Amino acid sequence: MNTIPAIRRWLETAFTEPPFLLNEQYFFDKRNRQFFSIFITDYFLCDPASGEGITDMPYSPEELAVLKERMDRLEEKSADLLYVPRLTVAQRTDMIRLFLNEQGLPGDEELDNITKAVNGRSNLDVGAALLPEMRAGWQRFSNNYLHQVIDAFCTHHHIDLASCSVWTDEKAISIQLNTRN
């Protein structure tokens, strides 16, 4: 079982992934009390025709069966699977505005500059858009903010992180597609 700090880090990643990025989606399985993600490449791996001949399979046969079963349940819109949402661009903008207000900055010009740099295409990496003396404060603020978002999500869905785990969080694969045939 993962530690609560490790699960929180996983959830921070899930919530701060760019909202328009489609390569990975995050979920919670109520039956197993497990957080898990599905990479876009996982769909190829679970398709018997596409998955044949992959030599660097990131999953054991048992893990692949669990993944396929969860994908089937997602397709059926199972109530036991919760989507872990990403912060929207509006939520990110509000978060930055709160931070700037906390810093005593008027906000509009700074907010415009930062939101142009952080428009949903990054994982809330606004450090480069801030003055150097503000970066540590942003890190503390964003960590606290994200912990509140995580706590609200868990409270709303009756999730006790102490009884949860993250499923196969150390996986990666790349697939080369041959389009010549």
Q: Where are the alpha helices (DSSP H) in 118-156?
A: 135-156
What does the pLDDT read at residue 178? 45
| Distance separating alpha carbons of residues 141 and 130, to the nearest angstrom | 13
**Res. 122: pLDDT tops 80:** no
Tokens 């509140």 locate to 148
pLDDT digits 0-9 by tens, 37-49: 988 878 767 766 6
pLDDT digits 0-9 by tens, 12-38: 999 998 888 888 899 999 999 999 998
pLDDT digits 0-9 by tens, 67-121: 899 999 999 999 999 999 999 888 888 888 888 888 877 656 666 677 666 666 6
With a pLDDT cut of 90, the percent of the chain lying above it is 39
| Distance separating alpha carbons of residues 12 and 7, to the nearest angstrom | 9
